[in-house]
Structures are given as C-alpha cells and as structure tokens.
Structure 1
Amino acid sequence: MKKLPLFSAIFSLLLSPLGFAAQINLGQAAEYNAFVQNNFQVSSSDTQGRIAVGGNFIVKPHQYSHDKTNAGYSVGDMVHAPGTPSLVVGGNIELHAQGGGLQIHNTGIDHGTAVYSGTLVNGHKIGSGTASKVNKSELPVDFDAAFKHLNTLSDQLAAMTASATTTPGANATLTFRPAVPTADKVYVFELTQEMLDSSYGINIEGVESDALVVFNVTNTTGYAMKNYSNGGFCKTGDTSCAVLKLETVKFNGVNTAGDTSKDRNASPLAKQVLFNFNDLSNVKLASNVFGTVLAPKAAIHSTTAPIWGQVIANSWVGNAQINVGPLTPRDDGTPDVAAPPVVALFLAALASLLWFRRRQLFPSTAIVQPQFA
C-alpha cells in the first residue's frame, strides 16, 4: 500500500508549526517616550520625548511628600518634530498645585503643544507651550487599536522559548548567554523575581553588537522581593506583581548606560533591550532602567530613578525621569503576514490525494501529446 506515506505527508503538513518572521515593533507607541492607556500621574521630574495618555494627565503633589503645595512637570525638551504635539491626552489635563505647573517643549527652546479631548483644569499653570481641545476622533492616537497590538506583541514575546544559560557571577551579577546564535539576532531570556532579588546587575554575553535582547520578567511563584524605597514591593503569593531592580545592564561587557556624566542621553545600547511584563497587573520600577518597559496590562509605580528607554503601561504613577531611548524594532513596521489558513492547506492536500487515487484507479488515463511527422 502506498497511501500511508501520502497520508503521513499530508498530516505532517497540517500539523507542522507555521513559521513567522520576527515582528517586534511598538506600532503607534514607537513615536512616544511614554505611552499609557489610562491615567498618568506625576508630581515632579520630566519626560524628554513625547507622551500619549489615553486617560487623564495629572500633575499633583505626591501624597507622601512634605511639600503639599508644589508640583511641576516638563514634557518634550528632546523632541524635534515641529508641528506635532508633544503631549496627547484622551481625557483631562489636570494641574493641581499652588506652585509649579506644566512645561511643554518641542525642538529645543520652542514652545510645544498639547492636545486633549476632555477638560483642562487650571490651564493657567501651563508655563510654556499651549494646549488645544479636540474631538476624540481627532487625536493622533487610536489607543484601543494601539494597545490591542501591544498586548498581542507582549503575548508573542512571552511565548518565545528562552534558550540560554544563566550563570551567577561575582558581585551579584547574572550572566546570560544564548545557547546558539539566532538568524534574526533576537534573544529571549527569562528573568524571575528570585534572580532579581539576588543580583545587582546583569551581563549579556555572546550576542551580536546589533542584537535585540528581550527579558520576560515573571513572578510565577508569587515571590516577594525586598521593599526598595518608595518603589514598593509585592506581597507573598501575588503572581500578578513584579519588581524590576537592576543597577547595571551590560551588553558584552559594555554598560548600556554609556557615560551619562558627560551626556544625559548616552545610552545607545539601551535601545536594544526590552523588558516584557506579560499578564502582570502591578509593576514596581525600583531602580534605574536601561531599556524599554513593555507592560500594557500593568499599573506601573516608579521611584525617582531615571529610565533610558520607552515606557508602555496601562497606568503610571511616579516621578522617574523618562529619557529618550526608542526601541530598535526588528522589522520595517509593517503588520505580520498572515500564514495560510489550515482549511486552505487541507483542501490543497485533499486535491492532491484525489489526484493520486485517480492515477491509481485509472492508470491508463493520461494526456497524449500530439506527434508531428
């Protein structure tokens, strides 16, 4: 019988995994330093790049601060995009402080603009720049579509298998080394709460200089890290909470921070690091962050330690300075190309099977080529 090999081939085709090229881009969020689906609340500090907030943008004194009257924030002092808003808000802009206010910049010393679709509270507190009310449909961001894409991306990254060796080193440093090089130069590692609690920094070795490194930050055991300042902590047993605490991240021995004493934006390698907090609803940033934070389902709370990279969150409360450091994407920004549906594959395989059986049952049937004298 010759049917079994054919059936085996057909079912192997139908059951084999379908390959997808690596598509790692932030979609609409790529143009923003901070991209938040709901509320964004601060009492001081600044974001060098653009901010997009789907809910309310709130500047108010911190509840634990000794100063209950002053609060101020600056947006966009490193933005160089004339004609585009440095601040996009789907809800209200609320400035709750006696002193301080909001400074909106674009292209150096030029005054920037903000657009919002809710209410402007205490608009006279805008010391630099202007704010304009628009209809929600006129906002340059579709937050629902953007976060659908970002949640899908986070899920896909979390599903990628980590193939690497992790070695504890001297000075509480974890070394990550891929088992084999990858064709797309994307490397995925798992970073647990236990690892973070016992380490001071991490070193990524054995990757190309232009590689993109993804850390899937997890807390499947509900591990409670130490309480690090006002960054907070996670309770024992809470698997929906995670803390990120890393003083250094090195890329083949080179610090991703660069020399920030000479240049506050000296972190080129941080653009090649992504921290993915998949399915976590509570994230605490308890130290400097050298890389992009992808936490589309999470409420993020931060200390005052700076971030060199982009931040994607469900909501934000904290005074970390968010420095420009856009993630280097792993494609041209186009959507994934859909794989052929299984039904189509089945029909093609069935047609092949019927053709094969017809040849077996009617071997004399053939196409006769005309002969010419």
Structure 2
Amino acid sequence: MLKQVSAVLALVISSQASALSIDLGPATGYNLFIKENFTQPGADSQGKIAIGGNANIGQYDVGVNYEPGTHRDGIQFWTDPKKYSDVLVVGGDLTTTQWAWGNVKGNLILGGELTAGSSKNAVLGTTTKAKPIDFTSAFEQFTELSKTLAGEANTGGVEFKYNNWLMLNGTADSDIYIANITGQMLGAATDLTAKGLDKNDTLIINVSGKNINFDSLNYGARENYSALDLSASHILYNFFEAENITFSGGIKGNILAPNANFTFLQGDLSGQVIAKSWTAGWGAQANLWDGFFVPPVDIPPTPTTPPVVTVPEPTSIILLLVGLLALVMVRRLRA
C-alpha cells in the first residue's frame, strides 16, 4: 500500500547550476498523474496511474508492464507471479465495464466506491480503501514549478523555419536548454532539431497559450541537422498557461500542464503527463518511458586485477642455487 506523502519540489536552475533537480514527490514513477477526473474507455498505459477525482476506465488496461507472466516491450516491472504492485490510485469513485476482467494489472488503492454495474473482477491484485496522495497540495506546487520554469529566458536561438520546423540554434548551459515557444508554433510544427544538444542535456520547452491543439513531432534528421539524441526523460513540455490541451499523433517527452484539461484523441505518447483532468479515446496509448529527469549513468569499467606473482623467500633462492651448483659439479665429475 502507498504511504501518505506530500509533493516536495526542488528546482535548481541558473547559469551557474551544474544540474537540474526536480523532485515530483508522489508523481514520481507514474505514467499519468491527474488531479481531477479521468475518462478513457479503452487502450492502455504501460506504467502506473494516479487520479485525484473519479475514474471511468471502461476496459482500459492499467500498468500492463506490471502484469506477471507477460513479455511486453520495455521494462518488466513485475518480479514473480502473484506479487503485485500498486498500479492504480483513485481518490474518488471507480467505474469499469461489467465485463472487465483483470485490466488493472496489479493492486488498486480506492478512496471512493466501485460504482454500480462495474466489474468486481477488474483488479488482478487487491483493492484497498485509502487516500494516500494529497493531490491539492501536489498541484499547488506543480503550478509554482511550471511558473518558475516559464520565467526562464531562451538559452540559445529559437528559429521557426518554413513555419513547421523548430530549430534550436545553440548549446546547453550547464546541461540545460530552455526554449520558449507559442502554442501556435507547436501546433504547426512537424520537426524539432537541436544539433548543439547531446544525450546528457535536458531540454525544457515552455509553451504559451491557453487553448492548444498539437500532434506528432518528429525528432529525426532534417537537412544538415542530425536527429535529436535525447531520451524522453530529458524532454519536458511545460504548458504554463494552458487551460485546454488536445493532442493526437506521436511524441516523446514529459508534459507538465497542472491547470489543463488534457484530451488525448489517439496515438502514442511516451512520457509522463501531469494534468488537471484526462479524457481519451480507444486509440490513445500511454507508452512506457525511462523515468523523469533521471540522468544517464555511466558505468565505469571493471578494473582488471593484475596476476599475483609470488616472490620466493631469500632462503628458498639460496637452496635453489646450491642445488643447481651441486648438479653441475656431479655432471663434471661424471664427464
């Protein structure tokens, strides 16, 4: 069972900073972290989900990579069959279809009730009545974090070429690159490149606008720009003004939209989403990602142990020389 925790946010970001540190408290480790209501009839999330309000999941599969005995793409979180994790937290009531069976791939922590007509067999693991997360406190701090990030200036040049190509012309400052764009630019963009960034950098894209509609964004090579070599854990889209966001298509990166109603029409979203509410369709897939701002770990090579050479003691050396000398004398006498 999850323990009672409060969101603790720590942000270090300046020209002298050597790292960006964001502690998301109870949101850490969740594919989706939603303040109010959640509605999605089908599809699935590969990671865990936390919802502060009511959840209508229909036949939606929650935490499919936590299900024992399966071999899906990505990290397999389960260890042994029947050892389930807490994969779904719902502060309010939960609704499923009446024929749902095992679509919550682990334990359920439920603050409200299982609504009438819902399947009692929807949860593979156990169901515990509790409210382990203070969503109100968490989202107050997420809002402050979002505003703080939005107040940062561009690290380098931001060009919107051909009205569809976001080009970041610069290098990271202390491994951090800040880019400020509008919601209209994001909605029209098809490509994003940044040849001055490498896998150790963190890209924060502040997106202005209250009502934003965007879709797929390609990080591949274009013209003389190479592909963006960043994992989803090192990309953050900060929708600091957004009240409504509509997304469809494919994108990788984390989304911080603490005051936005997030509508996911269809496609693949690889990253963590923090939003006010969530509404999605059957074709909306929340893919597994590799953590939120977890720096890559360079494993040092295993040191080679030199062979141990045993040095004979002085007495042993003398005895050896005496023996050799005696052998030589015997051979001479025989000759």
TM-score, with structure 2 as normaliser: 0.70
Matched, 1:153 2:117: no
Cα 1:176–1:101 shift into 2, 3 Å: farther
Q: Tell me how far 1:165 sits from its aligned partner.
A: 1.5
Partner of 2:333: none
Q: Secondary structure at the match of 2:141?
A: helix
In structure 1, the gaps of 5 or more residues are 1-16, 60-70, 106-111, 220-239, 257-267, 331-373
Partner of 2:91: 90
Matched, 1:284 2:246: yes
Contact 1:162/1:190, CA 8 A, preserved across alignment: yes
Once the two structures are superposed, what CA deviation does each residue of 1:127-160 show, in whole Å capped at 9, x if it has no partner? 4514524233xx2x22223222222211111111
* Equivalent-residue separation in structure 2 for 1:217 and 1:310 (angstroms): 17
Matched, 1:46 2:44: yes
Q: Secondary structure at the match of 2:145?
A: helix
Contact 2:146/2:256, CA 8 A, preserved across alignment: yes
* Equivalent-residue separation in structure 1 for 2:258 and 2:294 (angstroms): 17
* Equivalent-residue separation in structure 2 for 1:45 and 1:156 (angstroms): 34
Choose 195-204 or 245-254, whichever is displaced more. Answer: 245-254
Cα 1:310–1:197 shift into 2, 3 Å: closer
Choose 285-294 or 36-45, whichever is displaced more. Answer: 285-294
Partner of 2:219: 249
Cα 1:294–1:250 shift into 2, 3 Å: farther
In structure 2, the gaps of 5 or more residues are 1-13, 67-76, 296-335
Partner of 1:5: none
* Equivalent-residue separation in structure 2 for 1:130 and 1:159 (angstroms): 44
Larger Rg: 2
Once the two structures are superposed, what CA deviation does each residue of 1:278-305 show, in whole Å capped at 9, x if it has no partner? 1311111132121011101111001111
Partner of 2:119: 124
1:204 to 175, 182, 194: 194
Q: CA RMSD in A?
A: 2.8
Matched, 1:328 2:315: no
Cα 1:18–1:188 shift into 2, 3 Å: closer
Choose 75-84 or 195-204, whichever is displaced more. Answer: 75-84
Partner of 2:205: 215
Instruction: Name the aligned partner's letter for residue 87 of structure 1.
Output: L
Once the two structures are superposed, what CA deviation does each residue of 1:228-277 show, in whole Å capped at 9, x if it has no partner? xxxxxxxxxxxx21123233134973367xxxxxxxxxxx7122111111
Q: Tell me how far 1:74 sits from its aligned partner.
A: 0.4
Partner of 1:75: 62
Q: Secondary structure at the match of 1:148?
A: helix
* Equivalent-residue separation in structure 1 for 2:163 and 2:239 (angstroms): 26
Instruction: Name the aligned partner's letter for residue 65 of structure 2.
Output: M
* Equivalent-residue separation in structure 2 for 1:328 and 1:129 (angstroms): 31
Q: Secondary structure at the match of 1:202?
A: strand
TM-score, with structure 1 as normaliser: 0.63
Contact 1:25/1:329, CA 8 A, preserved across alignment: no
Cα 1:113–1:157 shift into 2, 3 Å: same
Partner of 2:129: 134
Contact 1:47/1:321, CA 8 A, preserved across alignment: yes
* Equivalent-residue separation in structure 2 for 1:168 and 1:277 (angstroms): 19
Contact 2:184/2:212, CA 8 A, preserved across alignment: no
Cα 1:168–1:148 shift into 2, 3 Å: closer
Cα 1:201–1:125 shift into 2, 3 Å: farther
* Equivalent-residue separation in structure 1 for 2:156 and 2:16 (angstroms): 21
* Equivalent-residue separation in structure 1 for 2:184 and 2:242 (angstroms): 16
